[in-house]
Amino acid sequence: MARVKIYSTGTCPLCEKSKALMAKWQIEYEEARVDQDRDALKEMLSISNGARSVPQIVIDGRWIGSFTELTELHMEGELDDLMP
């Protein structure tokens, strides 16, 4: 099971950018399409304190936020601390 989960939709450009960054950084992730899976949407809303925008990113069960927070973590070197 992937340690990273990205909640996304099929029409979200920032979702695509987030997934492309994960691939570039060679970080495996699981994608949950909230536009196709109501249970995934409920899970995202629960873990993100009701955030309705995508992407929403979770690492080891910890809600990170969206694309902006992901890139900030990377630029500050904190993403490396979260990865093996």
User: Is the CATH number 3.40.30.10 carried by domain 4-82?
Assistant: yes
Helical (H) or strand (E) element with 57: strand 56-59
Question: Which single residue is written with the structure tokens 């309705």?
Answer: 52
Cα separations (Å) of 19 from 31, 49? 9, 22
Q: Percentage of the chain surpassing pLDDT 90?
A: 77
Is the Cβ–Cβ distance between 33 and 10 less than 8 Å?
Answer: yes
pTM of the model: 0.91
Give the residue extent of every domain in the chain. Answer: 4-82
pLDDT of 4 above 60: yes
Nearest Cα residue to 4 out of 76, 77, 65: 65
Token pair for 67:
């694309």
pLDDT confidence tier of residue 56, bands split at 50, 70 and 90: very high
Mean pLDDT, the chain, integer: 92
